[in-house]
Each structure stands twice: as C-alpha cells, then as structure tokens.
Amino acid sequence: MASAMSSPGPSSLGSQVHAAAVNGDRSTLLKLITAEPSLRDHEDQFGRTPLMYCVLADRLDCAEILLKAGASVNKTDHSQRAALHLAAQKGNIRFLKLLLSRRANWLQKDLEEMTPLHLATRHPSPKALALLLKHIGPGEVDTQDKNKQTALHWSAFYNRPEHVRLLIKHDSNIGIPDSEGKIPLHWAAHSQEASATQTVRCILEAAPTESLLNWQDYEGRTPLHFAVADGNEAVVKVLTSYQGCNVTAYDNLFRTPLHWAALLGHAQIVHLLLERNTSGTIPSDSQGATPLHYGAQSNNAETVGVFLSHPSVKDEPDLEGRTAFMWAAGKGSDEVIRTMLGLTPQIDINMADKYGGTALHAASLSGHVSTVKLLLERGAMVDYLDVMKHTPLFRACEMGQRDVILTLIKGGAQVDLVDVDGHTALHWAALGGNAEVCQILMENGISPNVQDQAGRTPLQCAAYGGYITCMAVLMENNADPNIQDKEGRTALHWSCNNGYLDAVKLLLGYNAFPNHMEHTEERYTPLDYALLGGHSEVTQFMLEHGALSIAAIQDIAAASIQAVYKGYTVRKAFRERKQLLMRHEQLRKDAAK
C-alpha cells in the first residue's frame, strides 16, 4: 500500500515531461520542470530532450518555457544532433529564430559531421538556409561533413536551384571536391529529373570554365558521364551546349560518355553526343572497343542504328580483332545483327578476329541458337577454321551447347574434322564431360576410339576429368578402355592419377586391364599412379582387383628368371653327369675287348 502511494520515479517523470512537450501541454510541462528542474534536459532512450521534441512537434510556446527555465539549447542526442539541427532539417523558421536568439551553435556537427546548414538544404524552401547564412561568418559556408561535402554539394544533390544561388551568393566555393572527388556540378548532373537543368545552370553561370565543366572525380568521371548514366537528355543538352565541354573525356576505365550512353541504350543521347563531337573521331576504350561495340553487346538495336547512320562511325575491330558485329553475335544480340546487316549490306559476315574466330564461332561458343540460325541463313561458313583449326562446332562441343551443335550439324557441319593437335569434336566434348554431346557426335559417325596426335582417346579425356556419365556413354558405344596412348597410358592411369574412385570402378567393370605399363623409363602402372598421388581408397580397390605396381611386377619377373636359371643349371649338370657316365661306360666296354 505504501509503495502504491509513493511518488513517481525519475523515469516516469521523464516520460511525462517528454509527453507534455510533444502534446503542447504547457501547464503540465511547467509544473514538472518547476518541481524537478533537472527534467528540463532529461534524455529519453534516443538521447532526446524535451526541447528537441518541441521542435519535432512544432510546440514553440513549450520550447520558450523550457528555454526560460534554463534548458540547454546546444545539448545533443545520441546522433550528436541538437535542437537547431532538427529545426533546420524541418525548415522551421520560427524555431530557428528562437534557437539562434538563444545562442544556438550553427556550426555544431552531428556524427556524420553535418551542421544545421547542411541539413537546411533538405527542405524545399530556401528560407531556413537564408536565415542560417545570415549568422554564418566568412569561410564557414563551406564547412565540410564526414564525406567532405559542403552545403552546396547537398543543395546540388537535392536539386535545389534557389539554395544553390543563395550559397554561391555567399561565396560558397563551387570547386571543392568531396571524398569521391565530386564537385557540386557532379551531383547536380547526377539526377533523373529534367528540372536538374536549373541547378546545373546556376552552378555553371557562376563559373562557366572548361576545368569546372570537365572536372573528373577520383574515378575519372565528369558531370557529363553522370548525366548520361541517368539518361537525362535535358542535362546532357545543357552541359554540351557550353563550349569546351569534352564529350570524349575518358574515365579511369577509358570509357567516354558515348560508351556509357551506348551501353545503357540511350539512343537520343548517343545522337546528341555524336553531333556535339567536334573531334570527328570515335574513341575506343583500353581494349580497343568503341561505343558501337558496347551498344552491340547490349542488344540496343536502336542505338546501333543511330551509330551506323552517322558518317563518322565505322565498325572498327578492337585489339583482339573483333568487330561490334562479332560482339553482338557473342551476346546473342539478334536485333542488332539484323540492324547491322540491313544498314551495312557490305559487311563481311565471315570476317575473322586475330585468332581466326568468326561471328559464328562467337555465337556457337556462347550457345545462342537463334543467332547461329540467323548467321547460317545469312551465309556464314559453317566449317570456318580458326588458327587452332577449330570450327564453330568445336567451340560448341567444348562448352556443351547441345542445341547449337544440332543446329550446326543440320546446317552441314562436318563432325569428323581434327584440330592442330589431332583432337576431334568428340575429344573436346569429353574434356568438358558433356555426355549428351558425346552421344550426338557418335550417332553422327565419330568413332569413340579415335586417337589424337598423342594417342589419347575421348575416353582418356573424360577419365582425366573424372566424368563418370561421359565415360559410361563412351564405353556403352564400344570405347576401348585398354587403348594406350603413345606413352603407354590408359584411361585407368588417368583415373588413378587423379583419385577418381568411381571412375576406376567403372573402368574395371568394363574389363579394363589393371596392369598396363607405361612406355617410359619408369614403366608405371595405374597402381603406381594411385600410390604416388596418395589416393588410399583407389589403391586399396586396385589391389583387391589384382593390380600390381611396377616394383611388384619386377619382383615377379626376377623370381621367374631365377627359377628358369636354376632349372637350366640343374639340367646342365645332369647332362654333364650323364655324358660323363656314358663316356665311362664306353671306356669300360673298350677295355673289356
């Protein structure tokens, strides 16, 4: 009973004083802080005082009561923000005037090192900013936050042209780079709003210099790069309307705004940049790729059409000898291919890169069936050989592109060709472990026992990678597991070497002989390979199935030789004794006569 009648604790009173501030209950507020003066700066779980809640709830009269009672005007919450920060962010002029009259610190920084001036840029009205600027001293207007951004950076970011004008009027420096090397013009241009042109013009009217216009951040990007990235045609027009705007400026990856526009498919911006490109040349990146390459690989047919309709643009190869047409084929950009063939009928569809690869090679490698069909329909050579004597079929087999392989074979591709190392398409399919592709190739006439220049079969290629399904398909089609390559190795050697137990079991199940020896000086058997590789499970299984090491084979051979030699010496001694006895008998007979 006594406990129930006791006075409320400080925590309860604290919540009451905050509630009174929020609800604008002046009498309760005054009563509480009169009875307990410390409540005027009492903090809640966020570190906020009653004064801060007055600002948030727009309770000016309650704030005046607190300040008259001696509440701290510069006390901060857990984010290091004071009441003035909150008033600036809300753009509350009445509170700003009240707090500033009580000597609120307009340069106080929060945890992000932002001052009330920074936060005032968030509000659409410039009045709060203008009021704060009246109290700012010379040089203080460019106070930087944690990211080295000034109020001008933030005004540009929020696309506030009136704020920008005010700050520039108060001598804010438009050339201060932030932690990323961006100046306010970068942030103004980095907007998808058409109205951003006003903010851009405000900054450029203050200093329409080439250095400002083409300022590069720490990644080499100019304001034009950002306007292009956002697809803001209006801002691009404004920036490029200034003499000296470099439309071919490189970023750190050697990409120009034209590259960015092509990659993102901004056709109208591409047209605009081409018209504003006074250099007359189309720049390429560090790999020799032009903006046309970027547009082609992104399947931006409209953008590619804009490029090819401009007299300065030609499909120049990159440093690997690949044209934009080849890039389009490698990415399966069918619409781009149709556009390029339509606008440049003289294009060589069988043009090869420095490695001999054509557009059909690129499409086959990447598995773009529709692109392969399109190229074949337009006259691409189905068996064109690259420098390794690989046809498009080889590329498709290497990557297991089943549907492409069927399309190429239907288009007349020869399946039995060999490359410079004697590999067939079946070898490449087996190296990739593509069982279904192996089946298709064998059904179309390739022998499963064909050997390359090193004497290796497709089965040995599959065994090297431990591709069980592929090995099974090959042996189901009569692949011989006992064929030895030129060094005497079989598929079992490779499976033992790499420790593939399941592959070893499969091969032995198909009657692979476990004791084939190499033709090298060491004469290693499959078991030797397992022992050398430390594959204990494979070793145990091989021993259980009659496998021998070269040392064991040599021991057996030595024992056999010793047995043969011992028999030979016994027989020789017996013959000599027999001959001696026969000679003695003859002498006895002669003596008896």
pLDDT of residue 350: 96
**Tokens 């007349």 belong to which residue?**
412
Read off the pLDDT of residues 524-565 as tens digits, 9 standing for 90 and up. Answer: 999 999 999 999 999 999 999 998 888 876 665 455 545 555
Which part of the chain is CATH 1.25.40.20? 13-136, 348-414
DSSP 295-324: HHHTT-HHHHHHHHTSTT------TTS--H
Residue 345's identity, in one-letter code, is P
CA separation for the pair 547, 62 (Å, rounded)? 96
Identify the pLDDT of residue 573: 64
The CATH-assigned architecture of domain 13-136 is Alpha Horseshoe (1.25)
Taking the C-alpha atoms of residue 296 and residue 284, their distance in angstroms, rounded to an integer, is: 14
What is the token pair recorded at 314?
């030609």
Nearest to 515 by CA among 500, 504, 525: 525
DSSP-derived letter for residue 231 is T
Strands (E), 265-399: none
Q: For CA atoms 401, 406, 412, 418, give the dihedral sign.
A: positive
2 — pLDDT class (breaks 50, 70, 90): very low
Per the CB < 8 A criterion, the answer to whether 540 and 572 are in contact is no
Cα distance between residue 413 and residue 407, in whole Å: 9
What is the pTM (predicted TM-score) of this model?
A: 0.82
Task: Determine the pLDDT at residue 588.
Answer: 67
Cα–Cα distance for residue pair 299/205, rounded to 1 Å: 39
User: Three-state secondary structure along 321-368?
Assistant: CCCHHHHHHHHCCHHHHHHHHHHCCCCCCCCCCCCCCCHHHHHHHHCC
Task: Give the pLDDT of residue 571.
Answer: 63
AA letter at 166: L
Dump the DSSP string for 92-109: -HHHHHHHHHTT--TT--
For residue 26, give the H/E element and its range.
Answer: helix 26-35
- b vs e for 472-485, b when ≥16 Cβ sit within 10 Å of the residue's Cβ? bbbbebebbbebbb
Class of the CATH-defined domain 348-414: mainly alpha
- Where are the extended beta strands (E) located within 484-593? none
Segment 241-266, tens digit of pLDDT: 998 899 999 999 999 999 999 999 99
Closest CA to 111 of 86, 84, 80: 80
Return all residues near 248 (Cβ < 8 A) that are at least 6 apart.
256, 257, 258, 277, 279, 281, 283
| Nearest residue to 187 via CA among 242, 148, 141 | 148
pLDDT at 477 over 50: yes
What is the amino acid identity at position 167? L
Q: Nearest 5°: CA angle at 423, between 420 and 427?
A: 155
pLDDT of residue 585: 66
The whole-angstrom separation of Cα 538 and Cα 203 is: 74
User: If you compute the radius of gyration of the chain from its CA atoms, what whole number of angstroms results?
Assistant: 43
Q: Per-residue pLDDT tens for 382-415? A: 999 999 999 999 999 999 999 999 999 999 999 9
pLDDT band at 281 (very low <50, low <70, confident <90, very high): confident
pLDDT, tens digit, 9 for 90 and up, residues 81-91: 999 999 999 99
Tokens of 536: 């204990």
DSSP string, 167-204: HHHTT--TT---TTS--HHHHHHS-S-TTHHHHHHHHH
Q: How far apart are CA 292 and CA 315, in angstroms?
A: 7
